[in-house]
């Protein structure tokens, strides 16, 4: 049996990062929660999770030096997955933290969810998968995923899935091998594990 790919989950001390590590291990990866640059450099793929507030997460990423490590991982061409606030950090900026720059990997701004709906969206919601993306292999066009958020990236050509919450809301995006989900696959039961298994398989194929 082939060796499972090493996937580094960036440990910058914010939120329950270990839940992402455990879910990736369950999905077939050799997952490790780490801030060790040497480990991250040799990983087949890198994951940036996040919960809480955009500004606080960006500050913690900077304090640990993992902002530069994340950008280097993206530049290396390895598969990279941002989850929830980890997704939002890949954009240029967020309305939640005016004046705080994102990593600028995915162009655009993270916007507050529409008026007239409860903030945060804290529920299961059904996706509309708009275009092919390796994350959604075998999941069909309308899988259910679990969301907890009050902000989401604005619409762009990089959006690969939306959900309906007072109108279309960005649920997932992709640019080359950088992928990101606004929902929490690690909290989304069997569909979320299938999505992570797709990411693990992609990491293995790129590393082979």
Active site residues: 84, 184, 186
Tokens for 73, please give them.
């991982």
Beta strands of the chain (E only): which ranges? 6-10, 30-34, 45-48, 80-83, 93-94, 109-112, 121-129, 144-149, 151-153, 159-164, 168-175, 178-181
Residues 6+ apart with CB under 8 A from 149: 84, 113, 120, 121, 182
Distance CA 138, CA 150 (A): 29
């Amino acid at each position: 049996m082939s060796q499972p790919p090493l996937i580094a989950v960036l440990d910058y001390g914010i939120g329950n990062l270990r839940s992402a590590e455990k879910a990736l291990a369950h999905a077939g990866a050799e997952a490790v929660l780490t801030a060790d640059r040497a480990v991250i450099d040799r990983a087949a793929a890198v994951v940036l999770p996040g919960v809480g507030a955009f500004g606080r997460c960006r500050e913690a990423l900077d304090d640990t030096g993992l902002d530069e490590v994340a950008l280097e991982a993206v530049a290396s061409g390895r598969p990279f997955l941002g989850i929830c606030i980890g997704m939002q950090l890949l954009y240029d900026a967020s309305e939640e933290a005016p004046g705080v720059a994102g990593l600028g990997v995915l162009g655009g701004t993270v916007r507050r969810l529409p008026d007239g709906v409860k903030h945060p969206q804290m529920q299961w919601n059904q996706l509309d998968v708009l275009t092919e993306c390796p994350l959604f292999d075998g999941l069909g066009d309308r899988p259910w995923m679990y969301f907890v958020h009050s902000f989401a990236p604005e619409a762009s050509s990089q959006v690969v899935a939306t959900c309906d919450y007072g109108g279309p809301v960005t649920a997932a995006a992709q640019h080359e091998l950088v992928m990101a989900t606004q929902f929490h696959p690690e909290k989304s039961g069997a569909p979320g594990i299938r999505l992570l298994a797709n990411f693990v398989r992609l990491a293995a194929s790129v590393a082979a």
